[in-house]
Chain A
Amino acid sequence: MRAASNHLQLSDISVSFSGFRAVDGLNLGVARGELRCLIGPNGAGKTTCLDLICGKTKPSAGSIRLDTRELTTLEEHQIARAGVGRKFQVPSVFRELTVRENLEVAHCKSVGVFANALRFGRSTETDGLEKLAELVGIEDRLGQPAAYLSHGETQWLEIALLIAQNSELILMDEPTAGMTAQETRKTAELFLRLKGRHTLIVVEHDMGFIREIGDVISVMHQGRMLAEGTVHEIEADPEVQRAYLGSGGISHA
């Protein structure tokens, strides 16, 4: 698990919010190209874990390495440049900008303010962006402000933004929340296609979805890593079942 070749390695990460330990000595290693599911009852610290990786929250102890790079000392934009993309639990897109503009912001080779001041209009990349919009089924919304999208479409847009951003490591926080069963299946397909080229960490509740996409599943509970294994191993694990007691069992969490 602590193989040196891991793409992402969290070691003994802790963080507290006014005394409450939301993440407590967490260890997590993810290999390059892996699709890792992260599950756990509400309040287990899954979102906080992603916050720690992308720099939104700074850990009080421990280290986070992307390949050989230490992330905990970097600012959010530096972490993003190092190759980490993040989808938020509450879909977070630029509502005043059009769908196309959203994609243009996400897809950018250069991040410097002066270089971008001399970069105008549409280049060859817009073709790719249109294909991407087609992929997630919002191609006829390209010219509209993102505020006009439905909740499901906003989820899709943010997923498209992450694909446009093209990070090596993609963090997805409950990407299928608010999607229909059919849309969820489509998301699963998409993630399976991204796997291999990207490393993915997906926080999910829907066990059906997890069965479709997951190889290795990590289970968090009260800020710690409770178990790691295949879907079968996890479902059979008595400790996991105990953790989910009171939240209605693992499949309904």
Chain B
Amino acid sequence: MTKRGNIQIAVYAFVCLVILLLPFVLGNDYLLNRIARYLVLGLLAMSLSLCWGYAGILNLGQALSFGIGSYCMAMTLKLRTVPVQTGAGGLPDFMVWNNVETLPWLWVPFHSTTFALLAGIGVPVLLAALLGWFMFKGRVTGVYVAIITLAALVVGNLLVIDAQAYTGGFNGLTDLAQLELFGITFDAYGRSTYYLCAICLTFSLFAALALTRSKTGLILQAVRDQENRVRYFGYDVAHYKSFALCVSAGFAGLAGMLYTVVMEFASPTFMGVPLSLSVVVWCAVGGRSSLLGATLGAIIVAGMQNVLSEQRAFLETWTLIMGAIFVLVVLFLPKGLAGLSEAIAGRLDRSRPSALVSDAVTVEKNIALPEVRR
């Protein structure tokens, strides 16, 4: 297991290194921005893999955390732009159009970028804690968790669209300033933004990997397997599941913040049902119980979507293709691409004859299963 563990770290490190070195090979800033976007979506998929793949909690509302993160970032950046009508320090333009006269209290703390950064992660975490407490203390499981989280997403989405005077409604928050941190300006089409995303992704991947390898990670997998058995070993299952949901929401919030920086706007579609379901597909394609698999799944599928939907022929049929991919993966690759690559690696490892023999012995032992005694 340790050997397997070391290989796993090496693979993760290799992929992250490739991502970090990409700008040296790729001179095209437009393309870098595109890839930064996929990296952020990869982070989003990883966050779902953490709670779906490891703890067995299918959160169909993952985009809610993502959207909240995205809006938190957009709010602080919006307050940094100089509005045409009201001048420096004045009201954001869309509020003027909606006849809002003073800055709503919800917006005031977003004058501080630090607050916004904390809120972008903290609000999703708190919301997940609340939702988790309510669901898991009440022992809600399986498909009901999926339904409740999806419902929470729909409510959040409607609230944002409905409160047009405070959120920009359908249009979202556009015309944002560039993020400035530690004296660095993050231009969406500059390398700094690419590195910001790449470094955040690397950090998150390794932090999440560490979590999955901790005792808590092990107990979460036990919960995924048989949560009722876990209780009789003294673990509070509701705590563990809420924790997984919260950590996952935190990463999704971080991804949302980065997405605003890369896209230069926030939109209700960032917390929409279609995006949330796409994340599930990405995870399934990449392999939901592999953090890296889910990340790459998102990068590959979202990248493909982008390339294909630029061609007229595929513009309309993309959703169909996505559905087909999902069905095929569920049918033939239940562990996704990560499972496929593991199986191939396992084959190569086992091509030595001695291993084959021990394999056969294992199989035989398993066949001699029914030991009858009365």
Contact = CB atoms under 8 A, between A and B. Distances in A.
A97 B221 CA distance: 8
Interface in A153-200: 161, 165, 178-181, 184
Most buried by B among A85, A98, A121, A143: A121
B271 to A, nearest CB: 27
Contacts of A100: 1
A76 B231 contact: yes
Interface string B209-251: 0110111111101101110011111111101100100000000
Give chain B's interface secondary structure class. Answer: helix
Contacts of B221: 94, 96-97, 101
Given A97-B222, A113-B239, A148 B229 contact: no
Nearest to A80: B234
B1 A117 contact: no
A71 B305 CA distance: 57
Interface string A104-127: 111010011110111111100000
Contacts of B362: 144, 148
Contacts of A81: 234
A78 B77 CA distance: 48
A54 B227 CA distance: 15
Nearest to B234: A80
Contact of A101 (B2, B218, B368, B373): B218
B181 interface: no
A179 B226 contact: no
A178 B215 contact: no
A116 B215 contact: yes
Contacts of B371: 150-152, 178-180
Given A96-B221, A151-B371, A80 B213 contact: no
B213 to A, nearest CB: 6
Contacts of A93: 226, 229
Nearest to A106: B233
B26 interface: no
Contacts of A181: 373
A81 B239 CA distance: 15
A112 B235 CA distance: 7
Nearest to A87: B232
A58 interface: no
Given A97-B222, A150-B365, A113 B232 contact: no
A86 interface: yes
Given A120-B213, A178-B371, A108 B225 contact: no
A9 to B, nearest CB: 21
Q: Which of under 10, 10 to 19, 20 to 34, or 35 or more describes the interface residues of A?
A: 35 or more
Contacts of A241: none
B201 to A, nearest CB: 21
Interface in A61-106: 75-77, 80-81, 85-86, 88, 92-98, 100-101, 104-106
A131 B370 CA distance: 27
Contact of A120 (B214, B224, B368): B214
A80 B233 contact: yes
B215 A119 contact: yes
Given A150-B371, A179-B371, A118 B225 contact: no
A208 to B, nearest CB: 11
Contact of B369 (A77, A95, A151, A165): A151
Interface of A: 54, 56, 75-77, 80-81, 85-86, 88, 92-98, 100-101, 104-106, 108, 111-114, 116-122, 143-144, 148, 150-152, 161, 165, 178-181, 184
Given A93-B229, A101-B218, A148-B362, 16 more contacts: A75-B236, A77-B231, A77-B234, A80-B232, A81-B234, A94-B222, A97-B222, A100-B1, A104-B215, A105-B219, A105-B230, A105-B233, A113-B239, A113-B240, A119-B216, A144-B362
Please give me the 9 A-B residue pairs with the lowest Cβ-Cβ distance, nearest first.
A80-B234, A116-B215, A76-B231, A119-B215, A116-B216, A117-B216, A81-B234, A94-B225, A96-B225
Interface of B: 1-2, 210-211, 213-219, 221-222, 224-226, 229-237, 239-240, 243, 362, 365-366, 368-371, 373
